Amino acid sequence: MNEENNIISVNKEVCVIEYEIENIKNLIYTIRGKQVMLDSDVAMLYHYETKNINKAMKRNKDRFPEDFCFQLTNEETENLKFQNGTSSLKIENSYGGRRKLPYVYTEQGISMLSGILKNEIAVQVSISIMRAFVEMRKFITVNGQLFQEINTMKNKLLEHDEKFDIVFDELQNKKESEFYQKIFFDGQIYDSYSLIIDIIKTAKNEILIIDNYIDDSILKMLAKKNKKVEVVILTSQNSNISKLDINKFNKQYPILKIAKTNKFHDRFIVIDNKELYHCGASLKDLGKKCFAISKINDIEYIKRLEKAI
Is the pLDDT at 189 greater than 80? The verdict is: yes
Mean pLDDT score, 32-39? 89
* The residue count for the chain: 309
Running DSSP on this structure, what letter comes out for residue 215?
A: B
Q: Give the separation between CA 234 and CA 160, rounded to whole angstroms.
A: 44
Distances (CA, A) of 66 to 63, 129, 133, 253, 292: 10, 20, 18, 61, 79
Confidence of residue 69 (pLDDT cuts 50, 70, 90): very high
**Measured distance between the N- and C-terminal CA atoms of the chain, rounded to whole angstroms:** 114
* DSSP line for 135-147: HHHHHHHHHHHHH
Task: Give the pLDDT confidence score for residue 167 in this predicted structure.
Answer: 64
Q: Give the separation between CA 263 and CA 92, rounded to whole angstroms.
A: 86
Q: Which amino acid is at 94?
A: S
Is the pLDDT at 308 greater than 50? The verdict is: yes
Q: Give the separation between CA 239 and CA 232, rounded to whole angstroms.
A: 14
Q: Are 40 and 92 in contact (CB under 8 A)?
A: yes
**CA 193, 219, 307: angle at the middle one, nearest 5?**
90
Residues with Cβ within 8 Å of residue 147, at least 6 apart in sequence: 140
Q: CB burial class (10 A; 0-12, 13-18, 19+) of residue 57?
A: buried
Confidence of residue 10 (pLDDT cuts 50, 70, 90): very low
pLDDT in tens, 115-152: 888 666 666 677 778 777 777 767 666 666 666 677 77
Task: Give the pLDDT confidence score for residue 131 in this predicted structure.
Answer: 77
**What is the maximum span of the chain, computed from C-alpha positions, in angstroms?**
120
pLDDT in tens, 145-178: 666 677 777 777 777 666 666 666 665 555 544 5
pLDDT in tens, 41-68: 888 888 888 999 999 999 999 999 999 9
Helix or strand or coil: residue 202?
Answer: coil
Q: Give the separation between CA 81 and CA 90, rounded to whole angstroms.
A: 9
Range with the poorest average pLDDT among 96-100, 131-135, 271-275, 302-306: 96-100
Task: Give the pLDDT confidence score for residue 7 in this predicted structure.
Answer: 31
